[in-house]
Amino acid sequence: MIITFPHMGRVYIPVKALFDDLGMQVVVPPPVSKETLEIGTRISPESACLPLKINLGNYIQSMEKGADTIVLTGSCGPCRFGYYGVVEQEILQDQGYHMDVVILDAPGKDPRILLQRIRKISGNSPWSKIAGAFMQASKIVEQTDALIDIYLRKRPREQNQGETKHQQSRFEKEVLKYHGSNEILNFIKECMEEAEEIPEDPYMDPLHIGLVGEIYTLIEPYVNLDIENKLGSLGVEVHRGITVVDWVKTHLSMNRGYKKKRKAMLNKGANYLNLCVGGHAQETIASTVHYADQGMDGVIQILPFGCMPEIVAESIIPTISRDRQFPTMTLTVDEMTGEAGYMTRLEAFVDLLEQKKGKKYEQS
Amino acid sequence: MKIGIPRALLYSIYLPLWKTFFEELGHDVVLSSKTNQDILNSGVKNCVDDACLPVKIFHGHVMDLAGKVDMILIPRLISVHPGEFICPKFIGLPEMIKNDLPSISNLLVLDFNAHGRAEKAYDGMKKLGRELGASLSLIHSSLKKAQLRQEDYKNMLENGSSPQDLLDIRRDNYIAKEAYSNMGIYYKRGLELRETDQSKDAEANPTKGMIGLIGHPYLVYDTYINMNICRKLKVSGYEIVYPENCGLEEIDRACARYPKKLFWSYGKRLLGSGLSMMRDRRIQGLILITSFACGIDAFIDELLIRANNREFLLPLTTLTLDEHTGEAGFDTRLEAFIDMMEWRNKYDNHFSPHGSGIYSGQGIVR
């Protein structure tokens, strides 16, 4: 059994470590590229959301490298993500690919099904080993996110332009050479130290922009046209509304303190949206309010075209913007998104924020 | 008090429940006008661009009611069946209306959530009744009556009626007559005078067979959005089978072929009814009708088409609707589909002397 999984930002790092630790063979799909998207777009339903198309591209590219089993997580609605597994399996079958799809769902009526599936993809390792591997993987999730946060902070302040970007892309390439969670953790630590040393411009006072929206488009750099990097090079410090750590903690951890904190966070948006409409719409609203309260300069919402929950959020955000005199912008991405138009919109938004900030200083 | 109900989204399924409930509480119920160009335009203008056509039209209906009534009912349908959801946009509908139409403030938000237990779904109605100042006993009796009406309505749908037949009074249509006697006072008050010659046209031609029309209720039963497809099919001599004509058990049985339970109630209904229509082979062809960028249909139609290609090989087509759809192009596609279907049925048992026959191809007209 050679396992593969869909890409989602840097999730491949902990997942690879997890299967390494369990002693399973794993194929990390090639980084998402134009070719991935083309393969996916060709075989997926036209109006399916972008992540599905990219997932399918990932599977087929990994299969060419020898993978035969797909592992992905599921959910029970109302967002479409919950039914990805079934639809993807049907499409692959019709395309003549025979791959085993293992869906890790939240345990419903019978938790044994989930446990059996976990057993299956871990090559019948003992439970203690499986638990250990999961613990290590969640540590990597946390560390990777911490490292990305350093990059985000450094990017607008760096003295030599492009240095952070260079380091980050080196990290993302080289991390695949390491095997097992311990080696990977060590490498992340090395990279963190290296990143902290990037010389900063002490007089730089960057704009602060929060990124909110659908989780996949937020954390997969190919899909959002590497918005973190683009904004960083425009002199903006990017704050992320949703990270992989949040997702893991919300769905897999039993940590009560975190759940309480999350609830308090969600409550901030209660005036606008006080129930879950699926996906991350509630988080989008809550984070937008939170960023406005924190005195940031603006918020950008990103969603894949046709994303049902985010459309609800999209219609609420203008009200928040009006109520709090807070600049916001919504970007919809799909396979037709052109980089030039996207860049122009980002530049225009940043320009406006800079002018607004300049005015604030003149008045004070 | 006058309560307005927008004639959009799932009104065609839940109208008896809502209308009876509010009328029993002693309020007047007013429906918005049937969907028309003005409603469509004002809806499109006041809604976020990314939303789908039915949601935009709902906005238009709310604007149509504004000023005519004291309160406008905005249903928040979270779940209509335990353990299932419907489209996320329905859950956020009141928020969308509040934020897209800030000038309209007299909204009556009705929560309907059967996700935990089916009986719990009516808590929202009880709460609303209290907010409207009714006594507990009155709420209780009204709710009971409304539920009975809804049950009758559901049974009639499963026995082969369409909401259009039931909600628009049609005196010379025997189904409507039945509806009239069954539903008693409810239909005597009348919702709408029938559209004149619809049923006459249908009776002029003997029926050639049945066509399954798979789509969400708000597309299939809104004659404006779907360019009166039902009438066009009837005029061409076909009877229509609707997803609502399928019982829940049948749907569950048909959906059992997929490894994971589908968690959208209406998605499941479309998929299950489509599969069971294909399986029992009483239909000549299947038309999938969907609105552009419908998230649920993107998956459901895909599954249906793939199942059909693999096993059933029935003539099947997909018609996509949005606010730009032109009627001429739509008609052409519909006529082409019917022609292809009839030719296939006529010539399909010709064996080609060489190669594969041109009519007995895949059976799919896309």
pLDDT band for position A352 (cuts 50, 70, 90): very high
Amino acid at B10: L
Given B140, B158, B176, the domain boundary residue is B158
pLDDT in tens, A219-244: 888 888 889 889 998 889 999 888 88
Looking at residue A192, its pLDDT comes to: 93
pTM of this prediction exceeds 0.90 = no
Q: Are A277 and B91 in contact (CB under 8 A)?
A: yes
In a domain, B361, yes or no: no
Given A74, A108, A125, the domain boundary residue is A125
pLDDT band for position A189 (cuts 50, 70, 90): very high
The average pLDDT across A48-76 equals 88
pLDDT band for position A185 (cuts 50, 70, 90): very high
Instruction: Judge if B205 and B245 occupy the same domain.
Output: yes
Distance from CA of A82 to the nearest CA of B (A): 8
Distance from CA of B100 to the nearest CA of A (A): 6
pLDDT reading at A193 higher than 90: yes
In a domain, B363, yes or no: no
pLDDT band for position A212 (cuts 50, 70, 90): very high
Contacts of A90 in chain B (CB under 8 A): 302-303, 306
Indicate the number of domains in chain A.
Answer: 2
Looking at residue A240, its pLDDT comes to: 87
Query: A343: domain range?
Result: 206-364
Instruction: Judge if B244 and B105 occupy the same domain.
Output: no
Looking at residue A45, its pLDDT comes to: 86
Of A74, A77, A308, the CB nearest to B89: A308
Write out chain A in H/E/C secondary structure: CEEECCCCCCCHHHHHHHHHHCCCEEECCCCCCHHHHHHHHHHCCCCCCHHHHHHHHHHHHHHHCCCCEEEEECCCCCCHHHHHHHHHHHHHHHCCCCCEEEEECCCCCCHHHHHHHHHHHCCCCCHHHHHHHHHHHHHHHHHHHHHHHHHHHHHHHECCCCHHHHHHHHHHHHHHHCCCHHHHHHHHHHHHHHHHCCCECCCCCCEEEEEEECHHHHHCCCCCCCHHHHHHHCCEEEEECCCHHHHHHHHHCCCHHHHHHHHHHHHCCCCCCCCCCCCCHHHHHHHHHHHHHCCCCEEEEEEECCCHHHHHHHHHHHHHHHHHCCCEEEEEECCCCCHHHHHHHHHHHHHHHHHHHHHHHHHC
In a domain, B209, yes or no: yes
Distance CA B263, CA B27 (A): 35
In a domain, B354, yes or no: no
pLDDT in tens, B308-352: 988 888 889 999 888 887 888 888 999 999 988 888 777 665 555
pLDDT reading at A307 higher than 80: yes
Of B83, B102, B293, the CB nearest to A306: B293
Looking at residue A57, its pLDDT comes to: 92
Check residue B23 and report its DSSP letter.
H
Q: Are A88 and A56 in contact (CB under 8 A)?
A: yes
- A108 vs B279, which has greater pLDDT? B279
Instruction: Judge if B300 and B235 occupy the same domain.
Output: yes
pLDDT band for position B363 (cuts 50, 70, 90): very low
Instruction: Judge if A73 and A221 occupy the same domain.
Output: no
Given A90, A108, A125, the domain boundary residue is A125
For residue B123, the domain's CATH number is 3.40.50.11890
In a domain, A229, yes or no: yes
pLDDT reading at B202 higher than 80: no
Instruction: Judge if B106 and B242 occupy the same domain.
Output: no
Instruction: Judge if B49 and B131 occupy the same domain.
Output: yes
Given B158, B184, B208, the domain boundary residue is B158
B295–A306 C-beta distance less than 8 A:
yes
Distance CA B40, CA B57 (A): 5
- B353 vs B306, which has greater pLDDT? B306
Distance CA B21, CA A110 (A): 39
Indicate the number of domains in chain B.
Answer: 3
Of A87, A303, A308, the CB nearest to B87: A308
A307–B260 C-beta distance less than 8 A:
no
A305–B293 C-beta distance less than 8 A:
yes
For residue A83, the domain's CATH number is 3.40.50
pLDDT in tens, B243-288: 888 888 888 888 888 888 888 888 899 999 999 988 888 888 899 9
> Hey, is B211 helix, strand or coil?
strand
Instruction: Judge if B314 and B329 occupy the same domain.
Output: yes
In a domain, B360, yes or no: no
Instruction: Judge if B343 and B202 occupy the same domain.
Output: yes
In a domain, A109, yes or no: yes
Instruction: Report the mean per-residue pLDDT for chain A.
Output: 87
Closest Cα to residue B343, out of B323, B358, B326, B332?
B358
pLDDT in tens, A311-337: 889 999 999 999 989 999 999 988 887
Instruction: Judge if A92 and A227 occupy the same domain.
Output: no
Instruction: Judge if B20 and B67 occupy the same domain.
Output: yes
The average pLDDT across A101-127 equals 80
Backbone angles phi, psi at A300, to 5 degrees: -115, 125
Distance CA B82, CA A62 (A): 38
Alpha helices in chain B (DSSP H): 11-24, 37-45, 53-65, 88-91, 93-100, 123-131, 136-158, 163-167, 174-183, 185-188, 198-204, 217-220, 229-235, 248-255, 265-280, 295-307, 327-347
Q: Residues near A15 by Cβ (< 8 Å), separated by ≥ 6?
A: A5, A26, A137
Instruction: Judge if A94 and A212 occupy the same domain.
Output: no
Instruction: Judge if A239 and A115 occupy the same domain.
Output: no
Contacts of B264 in chain A (CB under 8 A): 77-78
pLDDT band for position B358 (cuts 50, 70, 90): low
Distance CA B174, CA B158 (A): 16
Instruction: Judge if B55 and B142 occupy the same domain.
Output: yes
Of B47, B84, B92, the CB nearest to A281: B92
Instruction: Judge if B224 and B154 occupy the same domain.
Output: no
pLDDT in tens, B170-179: 433 434 444 4
Q: What percentage of residues in chain A have a pLDDT greater than 70?
A: 97
Instruction: Judge if B101 and B245 occupy the same domain.
Output: no
Distance CA A293, CA A308 (A): 27
Instruction: Judge if A358 and A260 occupy the same domain.
Output: yes
Given A90, A125, A160, the domain boundary residue is A125
Q: Interhelix angle for A308-324 vs A281-293, to 10°?
A: 20
pLDDT reading at A255 higher than 80: no
Q: Tell me, yes or no, if B299 comes closer than 8 A to chain A by beta carbon.
A: yes
**Tokens standing for B329?**
């192009």
Distance of CA A212 to the CA centre of its chain: 11
Distance from CA of B37 to the nearest CA of A (A): 23
Chain A interface disruption, residue of B89, B300, B309, most A CBs within 10 A: B89
Instruction: Judge if A89 and A236 occupy the same domain.
Output: no
Instruction: Judge if B169 and B82 occupy the same domain.
Output: no
Of B48, B91, B297, the CB nearest to A315: B48
In a domain, B357, yes or no: no
In a domain, B231, yes or no: yes
Query: B173: domain range?
Result: 159-194
Looking at residue A58, its pLDDT comes to: 92
In a domain, A108, yes or no: yes
Instruction: Judge if A121 and A228 occupy the same domain.
Output: no
B89–A314 C-beta distance less than 8 A:
no
User: Which residues does A contribute to its contact with B (CB < 8 Å)?
Assistant: 45-49, 74, 76-80, 82-83, 85-87, 89-91, 94, 103, 105, 272-273, 275-279, 281, 303, 305-309, 311-316, 318-319, 332
Closest Cα to residue B338, out of B236, B227, B228?
B236
For residue A311, the domain's CATH number is 3.40.50.11900
Check residue B356 and report its DSSP letter.
-
In a domain, B127, yes or no: yes
B85–A312 C-beta distance less than 8 A:
no
Q: Are A156 and A236 in contact (CB under 8 A)?
A: yes
**Tokens standing for A44?**
């997926």
pLDDT band for position A108 (cuts 50, 70, 90): low
Q: Which of A272-276, A296-300, B159-163, B218-222 has the lowest mean pLDDT?
A: B159-163
Q: What percentage of residues in chain B have a pLDDT greater than 70?
A: 83
